């Protein structure tokens, strides 16, 4: 078994994080530290919980718990994106594109949780 870097969910969550971060920097200055910051942190939390869970994989219940945290942070990220897409119509196309990717990622992480539960 390799490292967490070999997990598809890790790779995808990192790619999404690296797309979200610069997108938030296009927000108005006053929003950088409000919803922009929350979006950056929730997106980072998806990745971080996958990594921490992998480190606890010896304890199956802990692993699943952190994967569930990652899934929850993914949902939080989607919620922040929805708010920003509504508030900033000039950026909505970019936000909705990334939201679609997070929706798909949510299905992948949910399937991975089921896989870990069965194994």
Q: Which positions ≥6 away from 110 have C-beta within 8 Å?
A: 71
Residues 6+ apart with CB under 8 A from 11: 5
Work out the number of other CB atoms within 10 angstroms of the CB of residue 4.
16
Q: What is the pLDDT of residues 60-84, one digit of tens each?
A: 999 999 999 999 999 999 999 999 9
Taking residues 81-92, report their average pLDDT: 95
**Contact at 8 Å (CB) between 42 and 76?**
yes
pLDDT band, residue 1 (cuts 50/70/90): low
pLDDT one-digit tens code per residue, 21-40: 999 999 999 998 899 999 99
Q: Which residues of 39-49 are buried (b: 16+ CB within 10 A; e: fewer)?
A: bbebbbbbbbb
User: What is the model's pTM?
Assistant: 0.93
Quick one: which of 9, 3, 2 has its CA closest to 113? 9
| Residue range 4-118, CATH number | 1.20.1440.60
């Amino acid at each position: 078994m390799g490292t967490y870097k070999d997990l598809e969910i890790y790779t995808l969550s990192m790619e999404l994080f690296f797309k979200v971060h610069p997108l938030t920097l296009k927000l108005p200055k006053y929003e950088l530290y409000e919803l922009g910051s929350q979006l950056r942190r929730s997106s980072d939390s998806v990745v971080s919980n996958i990594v921490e869970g992998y480190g606890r994989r010896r304890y199956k219940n802990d692993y699943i718990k952190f994967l569930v945290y990652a899934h929850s942070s993914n949902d939080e990220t989607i919620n922040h994106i929805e708010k920003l897409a509504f508030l900033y119509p000039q950026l909505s196309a970019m936000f909705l594109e990334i939201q679609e990717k997070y929706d798909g990622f949510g299905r992948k992480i949910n399937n991975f949780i089921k896989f870990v539960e069965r194994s």
